[in-house]
Every structure is written in C-alpha cells, then in structure tokens.
Amino acid sequence: MKSKLSELSFNIVMRIVGGKRYFGDQVENYEEARNFRELIRGVAYLSGASNADFLPFLQWIDYQGLEKRMMGLQREFDAFIQGLIDEHKKKICSSNDIIGRKTMIESMLELQQSEPEFYSDEIIKGIVLVLLMAGTDTTAVTMEWAMALLLNHPNMLKKARAELDNHVGHNRLVDEPDLSKIPYLQGIVNEALRLYPAVPLLVPRESSNDCTIEGFDVPSKTMLLVNAWSIHRDPKLWDDPESFKPERYDGLEDEAYKLKLIPFGLGRRRCPGAGLANREWERIDEELVNMDEGMGLSMPKAKPLEAMCRVREEMREVILEL
C-alpha cells in the first residue's frame, strides 16, 4: 500500500498545483512524469541519508558526496518547477479566460500581475516545493497508519462504515460539508495522528532569547524540537494512551484536546492536512498488521502495509464514474 498511497498523494498535490498526474494510467507526458518520479526518488533517498551532523568536521570534505548530490537535485527541481510555471504563463497568454478550475500556479501567476514583489517566480517555486515536500509523504504515511489501525480493529472499521452509510449514503463520495456529521471517522483520524504523528518531532524552532523551560536553561539561538510522539502517549494527558480509541473524542470540542493533540503543531504557523477515501479493505490473512515504526524524515511503518481492496457493491457505480 505504501507505493499506492504515495502515488495518490503526489497526484492529488500535483493536480492542485499544476493540473497534472505523474502516476497511474492517465499520465499525459510520460517523459515529464519519468523525470518527476526520478526527482522524487532522489529526494526520498537524501531525506533519509545519514549526514555528518554528528561529526561536524566531516562537513568540510563532504565525504559521502551528499551535499553535492543535494545541490544538484535542487537545481534539477528548480528547473522542473520553473518549466511548469513557464508552461502556465504560455497558457494564460494564449487564452483570455481560463476554462474550468484554476491550478494553484495559475492563481499565483494572476496575483503576480498585481503584486509582483510577493509572487515572483522564485516565491512561487518555493511554495510549490514546500507543498510537494511537506504535503505528500506525510499524507501517505498517515493514511497507511490509519488503514493499518483499522485493519487490526475490524469492529471499528465496521462502525466507521456504518456511519458513512447513514450520513453520506452510497451515491457519492465524502465531501467537506459531511465532516461535521461523521465524528467517529474524525476520531479515527485523530487517533491515527495521535499514535503515529507523521513528523514526530514537529518542525525545528529556534529560541530568540535566553529562557528557562521546565527548569532547563535554554540559551538563545538553540534549536528546539517538540516531541509530539511523546506528548501524544503521555499517561498524564491521555487515558490508556497506548490504545486505539476513536471514541475518546466523543462530545469533546476542539478546545478540549487541541493543546495536547499537536500532530501539526500549534498557532498561526501550524501545518494543515487532511485526506479520506471510500473503499472496503481487508487484511491479507488472519495475522494482525505489523505496527512497528521505521526511521525517516516522516515516521513510516517499518514494514509497508499490505491489504486487499474490494470495491463495495453499494459504491460500484460511484467508483466507476471516477
């Protein structure tokens, strides 16, 4: 499932950003898609590679060649995204009106006309790169963990399915206005993010001044990491923290747990994220899904998820229309 969920995440983000698919059967430009996939593979490798951070003097020689490869990859990615921007500029110039939904690049290029200092090509490239790097692997990892949890708890999967049947029906997929009507499914998402946050140490911060935190003296300019994984499993904050309990959020408003459920951080710089699907999944055998955690920029499963997909008969017509 890992590769399928990753491809799904990249296709969703790239359709939003540039209106293109680079995985699956509906790829239009195979050469462009191949280049994109190679760039992503390069980023995935370098993101998990061990650098000389623990022995700083080795940075002088770049003995693994990682910095050189990273700089080369950065130039290739820059050229790739610039190509997308140039392509959309030509599209806008050749048509007075953009038919259909605008891509994110098209929207930012329109803003470039009125606010060029805030929407230069460099800024647009930076925004696109952040969306690709921060919004794809993390989404795929979260979906994989959530599916693994549900496959190990089939009764909870049935309860979520019944909730969807009652409030959404069989004639369409879940849409954003439905979310307030399916609290149990939202509880499943919350529990997956609580037990297996995609970025367990969140984004690094830096102290602007000398300060004291819980009795520890922190000098200014110190890198600070918030251990969301540990907070989410703290028995002082959560009842039975190691257990998967979607119902623990029943009747609670966001205010009741938002300061201790922090998979996206807190405050105005927190990360947004979401994603749902509508299929029926089963374990490949009677053995429980392995839930060991792996190492990486995000927190992947140590053993990629394997599952059988069977389209629900009630949803067959909807699925065939996708």
Give me the residue spans of the domains in the chain.
Answer: 2-135, 141-320
| Residue 211 bridge partners (DSSP) | 218
Residue 3, SS3? helix
The CATH fold assigned to 141-320 is: Cytochrome p450 (1.10.630)
- Reading the chain (322 residues) residue by residue, the pLDDT tens digits are 888 888 888 888 889 899 998 888 888 888 998 888 888 888 777 766 665 555 666 666 666 677 788 888 889 999 999 999 999 998 888 776 555 678 999 999 999 989 999 999 999 999 898 888 777 888 888 888 999 999 999 999 999 999 999 998 888 888 878 888 899 998 998 999 999 998 888 888 888 999 998 899 999 999 888 899 999 999 999 999 999 999 998 877 766 777 888 888 877 666 654 333 334 545 666 778 788 776 655 667 778 788 777 777 777 777 666 6
In degrees, rounded to 5, the angle at the alpha carbon of residue 140 between the alpha carbons of residues 276 and 238 is 75
DSSP 3-state percent helix, strand, coil across the chain (nearest 5): 50, 5, 40
Helix (H) / strand (E) containing 109:
helix 104-114
- Residue in this structure with the two tokens 């680079």, named with its chain if needed: 22
Residue 93 counted as an annotated binding residue = no
The beta strands (E) that lie in the chain are given as 205-206, 211-213, 216-218, 223-224, 280-283, 307-310
